[in-house]
């Protein structure tokens, strides 16, 4: 693997950001949605990445921007139609991400039966932590995630509460989308999603593993 393609900087060259919705029952309940028999998936472009040190830019067409805290799985090699039993062998590591969501826009898209692209895929809609090698997380289903806004705890959840396991998600997604080295899968958010405003400071972490901090700013465009 060439030096420019080292996984710890996967956000500079990864092609696909695959997101899973409705994967925590408490979040499904708070959104007044229904638990489904299969994962809800959608995509973000690679330009959605916002590594730590860059701001989260508020899309000018939204007045209700929400944070959604998520564990991301980073793929280590091409992954196509793998079984659940094989799936974890294709994982290089993990990261913490935010699925920033223009909630008012998403609500309108839902009413009209339209895709969520405007609500989910704007520039900087995927703030991302440093890469965490899989050796540092022996079991990704035993993690505690947390998020604070201006020092106030907003989200706290355990990955053991996922509806669909990580091997299931990888297998499911890989039968639809061929994943490449450096691609990530966001595995859903626990309850506690909520709004942020200009100049808010978002801090988030995986207990004992990694943390990150971002400032919310207005877009100049």
State pLDDT tens for residues 90-132: 999 999 999 999 999 999 999 999 999 999 999 999 999 999 9
Where exactly are the structural domains of the chain?
12-218
**Digit-coded pLDDT (tens) for 32-90:** 787 778 999 999 999 999 999 999 999 999 999 999 999 999 999 999 999 999 999 99
| pLDDT attached to residue 73 | 98
Please tell me the predicted confidence (pLDDT) of residue 31.
78
- How far is Cα 50 from Cα 176, in angstroms, rounded to an integer? 26
DSSP state for residue 9 in the 8-state scheme: G
CATH number for the domain running over 12-218:
3.90.850.10
Nearest to 70 by CA among 10, 182, 155, 170: 155
User: Is 202:196 a contact under the CB 8 Å cutoff?
Assistant: yes
In which residue are the tokens 């692209």 written?
117
Q: 81 and 175 in contact (C-beta within 8 Å)?
A: yes
The whole-model pTM stands at: 0.94
Closest CA to 14 of 49, 46, 44: 46
φ/ψ of residue 37, rounded to 5: -80, -15
């Amino acid at each position: 693997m060439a030096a420019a393609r080292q996984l710890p900087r996967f956000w500079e060259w990864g092609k696909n950001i695959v997101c899973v919705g409705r994967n925590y029952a408490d979040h499904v309940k708070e959104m007044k949605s229904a638990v489904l028999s299969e994962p809800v998936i959608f995509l973000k472009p690679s330009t959605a990445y916002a590594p730590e040190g860059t701001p989260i830019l508020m899309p000018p067409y939204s007045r209700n921007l929400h944070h959604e805290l998520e564990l991301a799985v980073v793929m280590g090699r091409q992954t196509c139609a793998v079984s659940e039993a094989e799936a974890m062998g294709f994982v290089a590591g993990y990261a913490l991400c935010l699925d920033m969501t223009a909630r008012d826009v998403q609500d309108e898209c839902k009413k009209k039966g339209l895709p969520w692209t405007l609500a989910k895929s704007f520039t900087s809609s995927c703030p991302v932590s440093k890469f965490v090698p899989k050796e540092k997380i022996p079991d990704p289903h035993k993690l505690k995630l947390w998020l604070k806004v201006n020092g106030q705890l907003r989200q706290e959840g355990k990955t053991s509460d996922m509806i669909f396991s990580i091997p299931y998600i990888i297998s499911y997604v890989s039968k639809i989308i061929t994943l490449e080295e450096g691609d990530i899968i966001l595995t859903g958010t626990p309850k506690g999603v909520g709004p942020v405003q200009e100049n808010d400071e978002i801090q988030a972490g995986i207990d004992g593993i990694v943390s990150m901090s971002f400032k919310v700013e207005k877009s100049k465009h």
